[in-house]
A and B are shown apart, each in its own frame.
Chain A
Amino acid sequence: MSLDALIPSAVDGLMLGFVYGLAALGLTLIFGVMRVINLSHGPVIALGMFVVYVLFTNFGINPYLGIVASLLFGLVFGVVEYFLAVDRVIDAPELTTLLATFSVNLMIVGIATSVFTTTPRAVDVTLGSIGAGNVTILGTHAVSVLVAIVVAAGLYGFLFRTRIGKSIRAVANNRSAAELMGIDSRRMLALSFGIGTALAMVSGGLLSTLFSFSPLSGGTYEVKSFVIVVLGGLGNPTGALLGGVVLGLLEGVSTVFIPVSWVPVLEYAIFILILLVRPAGLLGSRA
């Protein structure tokens, strides 16, 4: 394999890694706050794609405005999903919440495939490109990185600088103590679920501007999100973002040395290795 492909592959992988990281951020936030492994994460990512797609193709709304809409829709959708599927079983063993969100997964996929079918769709957006040597950076990819960084920074600002954000962290740290301090933990859990869902939808919206998709596309990114959160540490938002970047970089660089079809094998080998050697992830678990 030619090393001439190394730099462009690394750049492409790195850029995609930020979007992966954003998707994983939603998954890890929900787990960090309420110890729920959200198996509806993948279909929610796909829903984000279709929010942008529908607004773009049916109403002519700019895809990047559509991503803002997907964030708001995701917030509301997540809160509703929390109260319908998670709230009643929040204190049950983790398997119960796992199954509850899995059933939401199946319902979303079933409805979405009925409405949109499995025919691949695409949001036709072009923002040009810049290039130097073998490296060509597409505008859509660059904007996706920018949006992912802004959203992640916004989340950190919210969690660490606002009263509500601090309340969420307090609930994540010790729900009983937070309630004794007068925090409505149920409301904070619902909000956290909404924010996690919104992050997944935004990442889906960004991915819709990069690649074609169908209602089943979320599955791929859900699995990647799990690899990332294990890599970065389940429940650790910083770790999720870092894990996303590492996974993206790994995907990019590894294609220079091994056939592309072997990349998932490498990813899952690392997934298992991390679970065996450092189960708390690279940065450990911290809400």
Chain B
Amino acid sequence: MRPIRAIVTLATTVGLLAAACGGTTATPSATPSSAAATSAPAVTKTLNIGFTNSQTGAQQVASTKQTEGIKLWVDQVTKAGGIKLKDGTVLMPKITFYDDQSTTDRVQSLYTKLINDDKVDFLLSPYSSGLVKAAAVVSEQNGKVMVTAGGADDATMEQGFQNIYQVYTPASKYLTGAIDLMLKLDPTIKKVAIVNEKDSFSTSVVLAAKPYAETKGLTVVVNQGYDTGTTDFNPFINQIVAAAPDAIIGGGHLVDGTTFAKQLYEKKVSARFIALLVAPPEPTFADIGDAAQFIVGPSQWETQTKYTEASAKTMNLPFYGIANDAFTTAYRALFNAPPSYHSAGGYAAGLVLQKALEDAGSTDAAKVRAALDKLDLITFFGHIKFSTDAKTHGKQTAHDMVYVQWLKGSDGKLATQIVWPAEAKSADAVLRK
């Protein structure tokens, strides 16, 4: 009997200690995942790059795609013999990353670990604006250059950070194009419902989209935010149905956006235009079947986008790096799956860092920062240029969004098509019936 009492006492003690140490999350793995360069010549130096990704938690799908993009970049740079600097030094990238479990607490501690323990030279970002914000603070405090792939939040990039560089188009531009598209399809549309996640990214999007909609003569009939992790959208949907809007815009990230779209379909909501953040461009959005049809989503990049050397010449800008089709082919070959814009963002972050290192001719942080500040080029991901204004330093100023819509092809299968802007479209947008 005594051993049983001892077990219960031990279990209680362990439980109390666990609670005291941070509550009910899983014990994090302390083992880094590494993808190291292969054999390298004697002049080679290792370029240590660190980041966290969400191997678990709400951001797992998009974050995994982003990491795959980074891995592809490392793979290709390694196969090409590394990053060659002007003085003959060759840098072979080695990435170290940890599972942040989609939580900011983990991001803060792991970025500190990457900087202080792993001694990384440069940082890439986690995925999602909330996590990027947490990583940016740590990077800035430690004077470590970080190229962010998965963060579009405007607020993060308006704090005068000197070491953070944003590859994505900022959140404030995410849904304004969707409003333009909607009014192009039907100028008589008057009522719009806005239902968005209450995180920093989605809030940034809506803070720009709502006044933009109003300046276009639209009336916002529902304007509600939902908590991160919301699974039941029926309270919002009932209000939407009662207000009978012509259009619904909002959402947040992949899981909630997918659930929201599914429940809108199940409840037979008759809005003629629905545009949601993040979820629609992700290939797994098709898992909800017909509920995905006609949903529009802003995308940072699509396989159909056409940024080439020729288009760069017309813009009088240099083209750098891999071609769009080559990226898609290489990604499919390595991961046996189509890339999403998160994948392309991950690759582009690596590419931007590579270009800055080549221009700087050094791994010295100040020289790399100066090179990043001067960067103005076209890549397969689009036009990249960073703000050098003191308040918005590092914020993306040149990259543009495209808008995709899930449409059924002649074979009856759902697929995304670029429907906006008009000059980039691969199909005409369609209003919901």
Chain A contacts with B in 111-129, Cβ cutoff 8 A: 113-114, 117-120, 122, 124, 126, 129
Known contacts A85-B8, A129-B268, A211-B231; A119/B58 CB under 8 A: yes
A241–B82 Cα distance when bound, in Å, is 66
- Give a binary string over B218-241; 1 marks a CB under 8 Å from any A CB, 0 the rest: 000000111100011011101101
Interface hits, A98-137 → B, CB 8 Å: 99-100, 102-107, 109-110, 113-114, 117-120, 122, 124, 126, 129, 131, 134, 136
**Additional A-B contacts beyond A5-B242, A124-B287, A138-B266 (4; CB < 8 A):** A4-B243, A5-B241, A100-B12, A119-B57
Proximity string of chain A (1-43) to chain B, C-beta cutoff 8 Å, 1 when within and 0 when not: 1111100110010001000000000000000000000000000
Give the chain A neighbours of B234 by CB distance below 8 A.
9, 12
Contact of A5 among B4, B225, B231, B238 (CB under 8 A): B238
What is the CB-to-nearest-CB distance from B208 to chain A, in angstroms, rounded to a whole number? 21
Given contacts A103-B14, A105-B24, A120-B255, contact A255 B241 (CB under 8 A): no
Q: Mark B14-55, 1 if CB is under 8 A from A, else 0.
A: 111011000011110000000000000000000000000001
Set of chain B residues within 8 Å of A219, measured between Cβ atoms: 24
Q: How far is the CB of B340 from chain A (nearest CB, A)?
A: 17
30 A-B residue pairings within 8 Å (CB atoms): A2-B242, A5-B238, A8-B238, A9-B234, A9-B238, A84-B4, A84-B7, A88-B8, A99-B16, A102-B16, A104-B11, A105-B24, A114-B26, A114-B27, A117-B56, A118-B26, A118-B57, A119-B57, A120-B58, A120-B255, A129-B266, A129-B267, A136-B267, A138-B267, A211-B231, A211-B259, A212-B259, A256-B239, A259-B225, A261-B198
Write out the residue numbers on chain B whose beta carbons fall within 8 Å of the beta carbon of A138: 266-267
- Docked Cα-Cα span, A1 to B239, in Å, equals 8
Is A66 engaged at the interface, CB distance under 8 Å to the other chain? no
With a cutoff of 8 Å between Cβ atoms, the chain A residues found around residue B235 in the complex are 9, 12, 251-252, 255, 260, 263
Chain A residues numbered 183-234 whose CB sits less than 8 Å from any CB in chain B:
210-213, 216-217, 219
**Docked complex Cα distance between A210 and B267 (Å):** 13
Is the Cβ of B231 less than 8 Å from the Cβ of A213? yes
User: What is the bound-complex CA distance between A119 and B63, given in angstroms?
Assistant: 12
Q: Whole-angstrom distance between the alpha carbons of A210 and B232 in the complex?
A: 8
Contacts of B268 in A (CB 8 A): 129, 131, 136
Q: Using A4-B242, A134-B238, A211-B232 as known contacts, say yes or no to A103 and B16 having CB atoms under 8 A apart.
A: yes
* With known contacts A117-B56, A118-B102, A219-B24, A5–B239 Cβ distance under 8 A: yes
State in angstroms the CA–CA spacing of A260 and B12 once bound together. Answer: 37
A2 vs B406: C-alpha distance when bound (angstroms): 32
Is B60 in the interface zone, CB < 8 Å from A? yes
- Judge if A89 is at the interface, Cβ distance under 8 Å: yes
Contact B11 A85, beta carbon cutoff 8 Å: yes
CB < 8 Å: which of A106, A122, A136 contacts B18?
A: A106
Any chain A CB within 8 A of the CB of B433? no
Complex CA–CA separation, A263 to B8 (angstroms): 38
Q: A100-B8, A134-B238 are in contact. Are A212 and B24 (CB under 8 A)?
A: no
Complex Cα spacing A120 to B58, Å = 6
Closest residue of chain A to B58 (Cβ to Cβ) is: A120
> B405 in the interface, Cβ–Cβ < 8 Å?
no
At the interface, yes or no: B139 with Cβ under 8 Å from chain A?
no
Given known A-B contacts A8-B238, A9-B238, A113-B25, A107 and B15 have beta carbons under 8 A apart: yes
Contact A260 B224 (CB under 8 A): yes
Nearest CB of chain A from residue B151's CB, rounded to whole Å: 20
Contacts of A4 in B (CB 8 A): 241-243
What is the 8 Å Cβ interface bit string for chain B, positions 149-169, against chain A (1 contact, 0 not)? Answer: 000000000000000000000
Q: Are A102 and B242 closer than 8 Å at their CB atoms?
A: no
Please determine whether B239 and A106 come into contact, CB atoms closer than 8 angstroms: no
Residues of A within 8 A of B25 (CB): 109, 113, 118, 216
CA distance A129 to B26 in the complex (A): 38
- Nearest chain-B residue to A102 (Cβ)? B15
CA distance A117 to B242 in the complex (A): 38
* Given contact pairs A120-B255, A212-B259, A109 touches B24 in the complex (Cβ within 8 A): yes
Bound Cα distance from A131 to B241, whole angstroms: 12
Asked if A255 and B239 make an inter-chain contact with CB atoms under 8 angstroms apart, the answer reads yes
Interface check B101, CB cutoff 8 A: yes
Cα(A109)–Cα(B26), bound, Å: 7
B27 with A260: CB separation less than 8 A: no
Instruction: Report chain A residues within 8 Å CB of B226.
Output: 260-261
The answer to whether B102 touches A99 (Cβ under 8 A) is no
Contact string against B for A residues 134-158, beta-carbon threshold 8 Å, 1 for contact and 0 otherwise: 1010100000000000000000000
